[in-house]
Amino acid sequence: MDDKKYFCYICGDEITDKNCTDEHIILNAIGGHLHSYTIICKDCNTRMGETADAKLAEDLSFYTDFLGVKKNRQNEHDQIMKDEDGHEIIVKEGGKSLNLRKPYVTSEDKDGVREISMAVRNRKELEGFLKGMLKRKELTQEQADEILVKAKVTEHHPVLNTSTMISTEAFPSIIKSAANFYVDRTHDTATVKPLVPYIKGQGECKDVLYLHHFKTLPYPEIKGQVTHMIHIEGSEKTGLLYAMMEYYSIYVYMVVIDRNYTGKDVNMTYTYDVVAGQEVDRNFDLPLTMKDLEDFRNLPHDEYVKYLPYVKKRADAVMAIWDLKKNQDELHDVIENAFAKFPEGCEMTPERMAVVQKDIFDFFEKIILESMARKEKRRN
Ligand SMILES: [Zn+2]
């Protein structure tokens, strides 16, 4: 610790060598790396927002796992998503493996013809189902054999559903992150005092927390970046001091720090690219007023839905990054496996190189075909 005195912005105690603690300004569980020893005391760190922090981490865990975001503490768990056909699939961390959660068999009569559709996890499961149907005389042996031959292996692609939203129980954690950043940068604990009850879970968070979307972003978008961001802006002119909180480039919340702001102009931004694992420079002005926030909150439903394509577009961009990452991982495996066909250290003759090249070519062909099939499906 240096000679300056620091005080916990939650309880007001002086922070000393004895009670200091490592507080992550953005949750480490979602890949936040910025931290501070001079904003919260140890007791408050232990007591505050533990449930809210855990809830926020849980609500965002789809993206955390999917993008394989690095965090200090690993809490691996599977995600249940849906694929494009509506089947539930299990997504392992990093999005590396996507398996059906359970088999799906439907059967319906269409104009006197029985249509059976099956989505199963493996060949053995398929054989089991066919055996049962044979026993019940729902199929002939010939038909069963034909199904076995024609069964095709498809990859599951997860689609986002509305359940990936941030819940109200997580709101205190968002407010705490905003206060953390403000105090870390300014060491002005008095200004964030009104936020403390909400962080402690003692107030209706909606008083200070506003969901917000944009039709166009207030900063230049860089392709391939997925960011957590805290932007604090305030001016006497707008009369508002607020923090814009962005998670995974998708979720945006505004935390109102002072709605009667008369202090000097403030503009500071911290942006962390979770995919590249590094801080990025982002500077912009967003002179919001309290009226802007209230107006957005009170939008009639049919006006509000006009903002949703923005959210969808950003979520799609994140998914595209996952696709790219996954393909890179796979390509790496393909090359390794191709070279592993030959004894280590052996000479790579043109014939051997041709074998490696063919494997790589096959891989790209597969990706291109898959991508074309998906585009076709989206069109229909
Ligand atoms: Zn404290």
The per-residue pLDDT string of the chain (380 residues; one tens digit each, 9 = 90 and over) reads 557 889 999 999 999 999 988 889 999 888 888 989 999 999 888 876 678 888 898 888 878 877 877 766 555 556 667 777 778 777 665 565 677 778 888 878 888 887 888 888 888 888 888 899 899 888 889 988 888 888 877 777 666 554 457 889 999 999 999 999 999 999 999 999 999 999 999 999 999 999 998 888 899 888 888 999 999 999 999 999 999 999 999 899 999 999 999 999 999 999 999 988 899 999 999 999 999 999 999 998 888 888 878 877 888 888 788 777 777 778 888 888 888 888 877 787 888 888 888 888 888 888 778 777 777 776 76
| pLDDT for the residue numbered 317 | 82
Residues 106 and 90 in one domain: yes
C-alpha 157 to ligand 1 mean position (Å):
46
- Class of residue 231 by CB neighbours under 10 A (exposed 0-12, middle 13-18, buried 19+): buried
One-letter identity of residue 194 = P
CA of 366 to the centre of ligand 1 (A): 56
Helical H segments across 60-158, by residue range: 61-66, 123-135, 141-150
Burial grade of 176 (CB within 10 A; 0-12, 13-18, 19 or more): buried
Same domain? For 193 and 233 the reply is yes
Show the domain range for 225: 6-58+164-298
Location of structure tokens 């291109």: 368
Determine the distance separating the centroid of ligand 1 and the alpha carbon of 4, expressed in angstroms: 17
Residue that the structure tokens 């936040």 belong to: 32
CA of 197 to the centre of ligand 1 (A): 13
In angstroms, rounded to a whole number, what is the distance separating the alpha carbons of residues 330 and 334? Answer: 6
What pLDDT was estimated at residue 245?
97
21 Cα: distance to centroid of ligand 1 (angstroms): 10
- Position of tokens 């000097």? 264
**Residue 78 forms part of a structural domain:** no
State the CB neighbour count (10 A cutoff) for residue 361. Answer: 10
The reply to whether 143 and 11 lie within a common domain is no
Structure tokens at 245: 């909180």
Domain end marker among 156, 177, 212: 156
- Residues 246 and 368 reside in one and the same domain: no
* Shared-domain flag, residues 261 and 180: yes
- In this structure, the answer to whether residues 14 and 125 fall within a common structural domain is no
Residue 235 lies in a domain: yes
Q: Which amino acid is at 74?
A: Q
Same domain, 211 and 253: yes
Amino acid residing at 203 = G
Burial 20-38 (b: 16+ CB within 10 A, else e): bbebbbbbbbbbbbbbbeb
Task: Give me ligand 1 centre to Cα 2, in Å.
Answer: 19
Is 359 in contact with 340 (CB distance < 8 Å)? Answer: no
Last residue of a domain, one of 156, 173, 190: 156
Half-sphere exposure of 95 (CA within 13 A, CB side): 28
Is 190 in the same domain as 129? Answer: no
Domains contained in the chain, number: 3
79 lies in a domain? no
**How far does the centroid of ligand 1 lie from the alpha carbon of residue 308, in Å?**
40
Q: 159: burial class by Cβ within 10 Å (0-12, 13-18, 19+)?
A: middle
Please give the model's pTM, rounded to 2 decimal places.
0.72
34 and 183 in a single domain? The answer is yes
CA of 15 to the centre of ligand 1 (A): 8
Whether 80 is covered by a domain: the verdict is: no
266: enclosing H helix or E strand: strand 266-273
Residue 218 lies in a domain: yes
261 Cα: distance to centroid of ligand 1 (angstroms): 25
Last residue of a domain, one of 266, 298, 330: 298
The rounded Cα 159 to chain-centroid distance in angstroms is 13
CA of 256 to the centre of ligand 1 (A): 22
Q: How many CB atoms lie within 10 A of CB 64?
A: 23
Asked if 143 and 25 sit in the same domain, the reply is: no
Residues 53 and 170 grouped into a single domain = yes
Predicted pLDDT at 163: 47
One-letter amino acid of 147: I
Domain-located, residue 97: yes
Sign, CA torsion 174/176/179/180: negative
Q: What would you report as the CA-atom Rg of the chain, rounded to the nearest whole angstrom?
A: 26
Distances (CA, A) of 235 to 61, 89, 107, 242, 281: 35, 48, 64, 10, 22
> What is the per-residue pLDDT for 95?
60
251 is a domain residue: yes
pLDDT at position 350 is 82
Asked whether the beta carbons of 275 and 321 are under 8 A apart, the reply is yes
250 domain residue, yes or no: yes
Looking at residue 159, what is its pLDDT? 63
Q: Say how many Å lie between the CA of residue 20 and the centre of ligand 1.
A: 9
Question: What pLDDT is stored for residue 162 in this prediction?
Answer: 43
Dihedral sign, Cα of residue 69, residue 73, residue 78, residue 82: negative
Quick check: 37 and 25 in contact, CB under 8 A? no
Ligand 1 midpoint to CA 100 (Å): 47
Q: Do both 147 and 212 map to the same domain? A: no
